[in-house]
Structure 1
Amino acid sequence: MDSNLDALALLGLGISSFILVTGCANMVLMTALWVLYMSLVNVGQIWYSFGWESQLLETGFLGIFLCPLWTLSQLPRKTPTSRIVLWGFRWLIFRIMLGAGLIKIRGDQCWRDLTCMDFHYETQPVPNPMAYFLHRSPWWVHRFETLSNHFLELVVPFFIFLGRRMCILHGALQILFQVVLIISGNLSFLNWLTIVPSIACFDDATLGFLFPSGPGSLKDRVLKMQKEEAREARPTPTYGCMVRQAANLALGVLVAWLSIPVVLNLLSPKQVMNSSFNPLRIVNTYGAFGSITRERTEVILQGTASPNASAPDAVWEDYEFKCKPGDLRRRPCLISPYHHRLDWLMWFAAFQTYEQHEWVIHLAGRLLANDAEVLSLLAFNPFADKAPPRWVRGEHYRYKFSRPGGLHAADGKWWIRKRIGPYFPPLSLRNLKGYFRSREWPYPAPE
């Protein structure tokens, strides 16, 4: 299974690298990329359960129709971008932003009383260094941030339908908004991905300054091509062009049909976010941070070599994840657009119970076996080059940012923590044998 997944990923990397380096793509290559990622999402289970997986699939599906059928050229002739596809991208960014705004207003009270940003920077999934300082902004800054968020997500999306200038303004504001979010948090590739459909709000005249205009330049070649096509009375359509036009028309009908339940969901007081109403995830619902946690809790996994887990002299050592808070002196990481999926899943697990996240116990079992593949997802293994731990437990802590310039910060601590209690009790491989068997999980063998 692992080799098959690696093969899918490598094939996708190869195709996308070719497109990136050459600047050439066609519908065949883009469809291949979409199918490959759809395959990974479908088999990825909880590992690929994030909302932006569907957003990437929908964006990629629309991207198929930006390209010629067969031609591989940086500037393919007779294949202008269809207005249907452009409006498909605009419809996507409209739903992303409006869905995010509505789920907030209908969700947590703090979005309505403008206090959510008092907590967000500290309690977001994986804070970055900038969040550490933004968290201490004055109260009026946080109120302004929340109001700005509502304006950008609930009002600005409608600019798309108010003519060229307002559509361009919408695109500029949304891209600026995503850049601010990138700076203030590690939200994976979500914000980078959201910039893509926003580009469809601009026309050639607006984006022309980004391209050189000298003789032989891309802009010069486009102008020559447009003049040649204007001189042709009735250009003879090629087979590929006719197929592409038919595909674009079919796309418009398909998106309109699949948008019906999505629009009904947006209008519903029981709105759901980050869901799909079709198995291919072509048109989806979106939303983010419908509720904000007021306190940050973390699950700290610990292991001990002591034969008796309850012995007073048992020495428990912490495992460190690659990005999520753990070591109080470790600076918050800066990883966007990279996505440490395990760190994110641990964030979800921390404000629920291990019974609701059984995979945490599976993770503990693999740690008890010193499983190399699982340990590669961590930053520090206290039992490296040693015998595996005899026991692993989960401890529940409440984390808070230290105050910049305060005593804890002067001691090199970015975080302050206080123990809440056990998250799950000490476990050994022997304890877990029945647990693994009942769930038909492979029983980990110590390495």
Structure 2
Amino acid sequence: MIDGLMGGLIKIRGDQCWRDLTCLDFHYETQPVPSPLAYFLHRTPWWVHRFEALSNHFLELLVPFFLFLGRRMCILHGVLQILFQVVLILSGNLSFLNWLTIVPSLSCFDDASLGFLFPSGPAGLKDRALKLQDEEAQGAQSQPRHVGCAVRRVVNLSLGILLAWLSVPVVLNLLSAKQVMNTTFGSLRIVNSYGAFGSITKERTEVILQGTTSPNASAPDAVWEDYEFKCKPGDPWRRPCLITPYHYRLDWLMWFAAFQVREHCPTSPSLPGTTWVPRALGPPPAEWIRAEHWRYKFSLPGGKHAAEGKWWVRRRLGPYFPAVRLEDLEGYFREQDWPL
């Protein structure tokens, strides 16, 4: 419950587009690793995006309180949250995050609500489970309580008190107008704050690594070839991938690198990794490496570029870092004070 509430509050307190209900005009195209479905969702009518943003606020800010409104509302909470996570799974590659969020939602369903999943009848699984429950209940009534039962209750109560105490700064952060997301409280790192997409990137840019075998990188006839990552946008003709719950960490980090341009943010880390990055990506073999900065947009379904088979339309913005010999790449990173 509290994670969803944190995510909702960080949005409503964050980017203005969440309050204007316009964030979904951009999100599908600019999220870290778009899925194939995101390509089509991005082009849905404006009123669909407004409904989606409003639904997000409803699901994250109001639905969590359904847990306290009785059995039926609790079950409704579970249904809505699971459907919400399924939509997020299909529309974006957010690793295993949404899959994990489904797990606690399963506890909203009691045995009666899940009974339709099991066969009934004298020899059915449901009937046998009910008999076992009756036998255990009768046995518990006839047997005296053991010391172990009391110890377990004390341990459970102690853990509950400990978690409640550790959660105090989390709740205070939740109520604060200066809410911080994705922060751990306490040295034990048991409790933390959560929040995603408090601000939405309005344009998608990509860092494209290129290599050439030419001995002279500045020669007019030097042929530069792109290094393709596993999933992130690169080749405009390549269909967006669906990898969730798997997570390509380097692809994800390159999304951050794309809008941490050194000219605009000189103290921020830029490109993740060092000389191992081009080698890890495989061919093309290169004498020289460079990175180019590109603006990416989804092609229009049914339009000219889509007819050519392009999923993306891109425009070069300029160099991200200049041509450097592969063996000198680590030294260049050190000169720029970039992380190794």
TM over 0.5: yes
Contact 1:229 1:235 in 2 (8 A): no
**2:196 aligned counterpart, secondary structure:** coil
Mean Cα deviation higher: 215-224 or 227-236: 215-224
* 1:406 corresponds to: 303
* 2:276 corresponds to: 366
* 2:268 corresponds to: 356
- Listed as ranges, the matches of 1:163-312 within 5 Å are 163-214=70-121, 218-232=125-139, 233-236=141-144, 244-312=152-220
Change (3 A) 1:244 1:357: farther
Contact 2:35 2:93 in 1 (8 A): yes
Mean Cα deviation higher: 319-328 or 243-252: 243-252
Deviations 1:156-214 (A, max 9, x none): 11111122221111111111111111121211111111111111222121122223335
**1:269 aligned counterpart, secondary structure:** coil
Contact 2:214 2:287 in 1 (8 A): yes
How far apart, in 2, do the equivalents of 1:99 and 1:178 lie? 16
- State the superposition RMSD in angstroms: 2.4
Equivalent position amino acid for 2:314 in 1 = R
* 2:330 corresponds to: 432
**Structure 1 residue 436: deviation in Å?**
5.4
Of 272, 284, 299, which aligns to 1:382? 284
* 2:54 corresponds to: 147
Unpaired runs of at least 5, structure 2 = none
**Structure 1 residue 358: deviation in Å?**
5.0
What is the aligned residue count?
A: 334
**2:191 aligned counterpart, secondary structure:** coil
**Structure 1 residue 284: deviation in Å?**
1.6
* 1:50 corresponds to: none
**Structure 1 residue 311: deviation in Å?**
2.3
Whether 2:229 is the aligned partner of 1:321: answer yes
Contact 1:186 1:337 in 2 (8 A): yes
**2:269 aligned counterpart, secondary structure:** coil
Q: Select the structure with the greater relative contact order (CA < 8 A; seq sep ≥ 6).
A: 2
Scaled by the length of structure 1, what TM-score is found? 0.70
**Structure 1 residue 238: deviation in Å?**
6.1
Deviations 1:205-253 (A, max 9, x none): 1122223335565433431222112223243556765554343222211
Change (3 A) 1:234 1:417: same
Scaled by the length of structure 2, what TM-score is found? 0.90
Contact 2:324 2:332 in 1 (8 A): no
**Structure 1 residue 308: deviation in Å?**
2.4
**Structure 1 residue 359: deviation in Å?**
5.3
Contact 2:254 2:271 in 1 (8 A): no
Change (3 A) 1:243 1:143: same
Mean Cα deviation higher: 189-198 or 199-208: 199-208
- Listed as ranges, the matches of 1:333-348 within 5 Å are 333-348=241-256
Of 57, 64, 72, which aligns to 1:157? 64
Q: What is the percentage of aligned positions where both structures have the same residue?
A: 71
How far apart, in 2, do the equivalents of 1:134 and 1:437 lie? 43
How far apart, in 2, do the equivalents of 1:163 and 1:398 lie? 50
Of 23, 32, 37, which aligns to 1:130? 37
How far apart, in 1, do the equivalents of 2:250 and 2:144 lie? 54
Change (3 A) 1:420 1:165: same
**2:167 aligned counterpart, secondary structure:** helix
Deviations 1:322-357 (A, max 9, x none): 110000000010111111111111111111136623
